[in-house]
Amino acid sequence: MNKLKIWFLKSWSTVLLFSIFIVLLVSPDTKAWLMRQIISTGLLNSKIEKKKTELGIIESLSIRDDNGKLTNTSELKGKVVFINFWASWCPPCRAEFPSIQKFYEKYKENKDLVFLTINLDDNVAVGKEYLNKEQFSVPFLVPDGYVPNVFFNGSLPTTVVLDKSGNIRMHHAGMADYSKNSFYDEINLLLSE
């Protein structure tokens, strides 16, 4: 017992770091908190392109809400569209979701901005449960069929911003902070075009 005590006194920092590693490994909320600290620096944020990129005819994306109401991105011309693909089990998604909620709260009354927060959980109930638990009020939507690669190619989270003409002006795979004034300024520019 004395040897164990001596070892612990010499190795307390290793034990502490190992314990932190184990907590990060098993707790999605802890991972999300750590990632939230990282994205708050703004280093991972993507910028909305000032130049319109012409991709030709973009395939449309069809989604549905809780009531089964279908929406298609081709119907949203004339509006700026913020699309976020997420899943409740995804720590980077959990990390960025508070910033998306703040962004939503700030702009939800703006009729020229549409929020499509698209859940990709295998079990839809799990995604709804996560939003309810965290008291997020963003729209809960799911894909209605095929999701074109131009919007989502498998990396979570993925965020896409369409301008009023339906052009992709931002495509960001990975977490980011959407509650920054610099992002709001870019959205305001798109809204004024």
Q: Catalytic residues, which ones?
A: 90, 93
- Residues 21 and 70: their CA atoms lie apart, in Å, by 43
- Residues 181 and 103: their CA atoms lie apart, in Å, by 10
Q: DSSP character for 50? A: S
Q: In the beta sheet, which residues pair with residue 143?
A: 63
- Residues 161 and 94: their CA atoms lie apart, in Å, by 20
Tell me if 64 sits within 8 A of 126, measured CB to CB: no
Give every CB contact of residue 151 below 8 A, 6+ residues apart in sequence.
59, 61, 83, 85, 158, 160
Which residue from 123, 130, 52, 63 is spatially nearest to 97, judged by alpha carbons?
A: 130
Tell me if 146 sits within 8 A of 173, measured CB to CB: no
Query: What is the distance between the terminal CA atoms of the chain, rounded to a whole angstrom?
Result: 73
